């Protein structure tokens, strides 16, 4: 088969092999990418289903928890022990759960809040004190009014005798005028800036034992007396001890009944509590004083009672609550803060609680907290469609929705995935495993494909090299054999003129035989190199002997008029450790190349020198030179820089590769310096002995 056809066949086989390899790499890669995509989508679906099932179960648990919480809130409104409304009020405020409350007995009578006009219908000033009131508020005669108040107090049912009898006893109802007289006297003394006398008189009322068994009217007057004393003493440091005692006494009267079960009306209680808070804010001496009643902060009690009084104005009678369904939280119409009402009925009382939107949100805090996370947010609306918590306009459809509980039957909770690819984040770890595994497999496939392609390419190159080698060997062996056959046939047939022509033919046969021997030696050396069977006989050798033997080996060939061969050997060269025959082969190959690639007028030189503990063998010629791009490749097997020239010159491109192999085995180096059309210099360097 012609060489061109062989190359085309090799190229076609290489393309087919590469195509099959590409299919073997691309097809698994595409399948793997498809599998990864399906696996990731399936993982998202699985994660979504897990999230839906998890939050559905969590919603059911949260409903049961919410029902229990609202049941406890309703039980707080019950009157299990016939407790006074104020005690129940303080307990409700301390525990939290609502912002205002109305309490009724089974007959519909309001138990809380009770106003002053309902609790004490005889609470106005006595007519007996009309003249003193005239002097104080109309005539502005404070001294005369103080004297007249004192006269009324002294004459009121034997004042001094009655004071002794009041200790530990409930005062009669007609003693309210006596208390009004004493308070009036103290008030007028204060207006006269006789503060010590005013405080002393007012103290008789404020700390009288009457409070324990008094009715509402008497309690109101005692509380007012204590409030007056606080206002008078807050800027006078001599009364520090009495100030704190009076403030504690006032707190003891707020939001709790006395021993007789009487308590201050809600409106008066609220007025006194607000005044007490103002006094605390204006008096540094009371800043650290307790401001709690029964575990409930005074500020919260004030806010609670203010809302309760406003709620009482809206629902004046228990019949106004007949339309409310017990145990169900319903919107309170016309409320400013999205307030809700909760009606609770028991055997002994009816309670109506008000819950602001903020309180409802706080009450649902644990319920909401069961769902809020980085991945999920919840949205709650009441039975009127009002938003309690969550986004106003969700961007996606809820993945879980349903009612909240028994006490909030028409309320609705919806769960949404937050913005961003929540499913990717939830399935991120699994997807990352899939992605990295798939990427690793794809990389391994590509690397394997690259190695396979490289192996195929190397195999194709080896096949091509083998074909070239066979063709070269055949050509190189055939040429000298053909020449020798022609010469031998000529001699055998007797076609010669004389003995000189016979001698010439025999010399030509000897030349071709030498050429054939060198080719065979190169092929054998190459074969041993490939099989790592080349063995060298290393010994201490003189570089001059190596150079002379190499020169002698080529002397016959170089001994021509057109060839000028020069050998220059420096004296006193150090010995080298080498295989002499192998090194002669190196130099012969270099000299042979110099001869082949030189022109008709050949100038070849062999120089042996020593420098830096090394011996240098330099072979120079004036030949065609080596192209720069070929300088790094000329030592490769079968490489020939000039294919055209190589067909005119004998050889198969093994000489330099054999030379480099031998030099490397000796621990030396071989380098080349060349210029086109100016010749080349090959230098072999071996380490000197010792």
pLDDT on residue 610: 92
Q: Domain coordinates of the chain in residue numbers?
A: 116-311, 428-506, 535-687
Cβ pair 74, 344 in contact under 8 A: yes
Q: What would the DSSP string read from start to end of 318-330?
A: GGGGTTSPTT--E
Does 632 have pLDDT greater than 70?
A: yes
Alpha-carbon dihedral of residues 433, 437, 438, 443, nearest 10 degrees?
140
Q: Hunting for tokens 């049912």 — which residue is that?
A: 157
Choice among 7-11, 258-262, 426-430, 593-597 with the minimum mean pLDDT: 7-11
Q: How much of the chain, in percent, has pLDDT values that exceed 70?
A: 75
Domain 535-687, architecture per CATH: 2-Layer Sandwich (3.30)
Contact 591, 619 (CB under 8 A): yes
Mean per-residue pLDDT for 653-671? 84
pLDDT tens string 56-97: 887 787 778 777 777 777 777 765 556 788 888 888 888 877
pTM for this model (two decimals): 0.54
Task: Yes or no: say if 260 and 213 are a contact pair by the CB < 8 Å rule.
Answer: yes
Note the Cα 479 to chain centre separation in Å: 78
Name every residue whose Cβ is closer than 8 Å to that of residue 123 and which is 6 or more positions away in sequence: 116, 176, 216, 217, 220
pLDDT computed for residue 164 by the predictor: 46
Contact (CB, 8 A) for 626 and 680: yes
Q: Per residue in 548-564, pLDDT tens? A: 988 887 887 788 888 99
Are 598 and 558 in contact, with CB atoms under 8 Å apart? no
pLDDT at 325: 86
Domain 116-311, classified CATH 1.10.238, yes or no = no
Q: Please tell me which residue, 632 or 609, carries the higher pLDDT value.
A: 609
pLDDT tens-digit profile of 73-84? 777 776 555 678
Over the stretch 556-615, which tens digit does the pLDDT of each residue have? 778 888 899 999 999 889 999 998 888 888 888 888 888 888 888 889 999 999 988 899
pLDDT of residue 7: 44
Q: How many CA atoms within 13 Å lie on the side-chain side of 562?
A: 7
Q: What is the pLDDT of residues 446-485, one digit of tens each?
A: 787 677 667 766 666 666 656 655 655 665 566 567 667 7
Distance CA(577)–CA(449), nearest Å, equals 47
């Amino acid at each position: 088969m012609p060489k061109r056809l062989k190359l085309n066949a090799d190229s076609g086989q290489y393309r087919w092999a590469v195509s099959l390899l590409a299919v073997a790499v691309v097809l698994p890669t595409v399948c793997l990418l498809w599998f990864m995509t399906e696996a990731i989508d399936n993982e998202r679906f699985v994660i979504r289903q897990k999230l839906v099932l998890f939050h559905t179960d969590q919603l059911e648990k949260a409903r049961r928890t919410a029902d229990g919480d609202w049941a406890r809130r309703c039980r707080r409104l019950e009157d299990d022990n016939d407790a006074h409304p104020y005690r129940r009020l303080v307990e409700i405020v301390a525990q939290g759960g609502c912002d205002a409350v109305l309490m009724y007995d089974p007959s519909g009578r309001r138990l809380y809040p009770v106003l002053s006009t309902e609790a004490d219908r005889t609470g106005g000033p006595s007519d007996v004190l009309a003249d003193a009131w005239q002097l104080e508020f109309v005539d502005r005669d404070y001294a005369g009014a103080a004297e007249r108040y004192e006269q009324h107090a002294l004459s009121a049912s034997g004042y001094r005798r009655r004071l002794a009898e009041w200790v530990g006893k409930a005062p009669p109802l007609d003693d309210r005028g006596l208390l009004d007289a004493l308070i009036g006297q103290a008030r007028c003394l204060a207006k006269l800036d006789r503060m010590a006398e005013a405080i002393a008189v007012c103290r008789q009322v404020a700390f009288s034992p009457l409070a324990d068994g008094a009715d509402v009217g008497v309690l109101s007057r005692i509380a007012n007396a204590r409030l007056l004393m606080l206002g008078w003493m807050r800027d006078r440091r001599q009364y520090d001890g009495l100030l704190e005692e009076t403030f504690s006494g006032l707190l003891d009267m707020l939001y709790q009944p006395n021993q007789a079960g009487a308590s201050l009306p809600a409106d008066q209680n609220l007025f006194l509590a607000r005044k007490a808070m103002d006094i605390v804010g204006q008096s540094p001496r009371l800043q650290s004083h307790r401001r709690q009643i029964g575990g409930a902060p005074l500020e919260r009690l004030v806010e609670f009672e203010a809302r309760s009084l406003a709620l009482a104005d809206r629902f004046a009678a228990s019949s106004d609550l007949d339309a409310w369904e017990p145990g169900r939280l319903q919107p309170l119409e016309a409320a400013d803060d999205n307030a809700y009402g909760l009606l609770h009925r028991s055997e002994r009382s009816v309670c109506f609680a008000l819950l602001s939107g903020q309180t409802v949100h706080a009450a649902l805090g644990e319920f909401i907290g069961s769902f809020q996370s980085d991945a999920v947010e919840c949205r709650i609306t009441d039975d009127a469609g009002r938003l309690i918590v969550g986004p106003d306009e969700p961007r996606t459809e809820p993945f879980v929705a349903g009612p909240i509980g028994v006490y909030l039957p028409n309320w609705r909770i919806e769960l949404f995935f937050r913005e961003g690819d929540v499913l990717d984040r939830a399935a991120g770890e699994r997807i990352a495993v899939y992605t990295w595994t798939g990427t690793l497999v794809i990389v391994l496939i590509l690397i394997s494909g690259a190695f396979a392609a490289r192996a195929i390419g190397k195999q194709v190159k080896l096949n091509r090299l083998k074909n070239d080698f066979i063709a070269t060997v055949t050509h190189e062996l055939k040429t000298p054999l053909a020449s020798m056959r022609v010469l031998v046939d000529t001699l055998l047939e007797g076609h010669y003129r004389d003995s000189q022509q016979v001698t010439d033919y025999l010399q030509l046969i000897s030349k071709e035989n030498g050429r054939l021997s060198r080719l065979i030696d190169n092929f054998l050396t190459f074969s041993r190199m490939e099989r790592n069977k080349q063995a060298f006989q290393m010994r201490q050798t003189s570089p001059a002997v190596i150079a002379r033997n190499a020169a002698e080996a080529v002397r016959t060939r170089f001994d021509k008029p057109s060839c000028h061969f020069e050998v220059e050997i420096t004296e006193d060269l150090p010995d080298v450790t080498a295989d002499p025959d192998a090194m002669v082969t190196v130099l012969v190959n270099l000299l042979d190349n110099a001869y082949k690639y030189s022109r008709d007028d050949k100038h070849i030189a062999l120089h042996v020198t020593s420098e830096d503990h090394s011996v240098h063998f330099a072979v120079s010629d004036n030949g065609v030179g080596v192209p720069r791009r070929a300088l790094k490749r000329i030592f490769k097997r079968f490489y020939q820089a000039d294919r055209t020239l190589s067909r005119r010159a004998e050889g198969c491109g093994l000489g330099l590769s054999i030379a480099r192999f031998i030099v490397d085995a000796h621990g030396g180096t071989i380098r080349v310096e060349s210029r086109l059309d100016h010749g080349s210099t090959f230098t072999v360097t071996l380490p000197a002995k010792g």
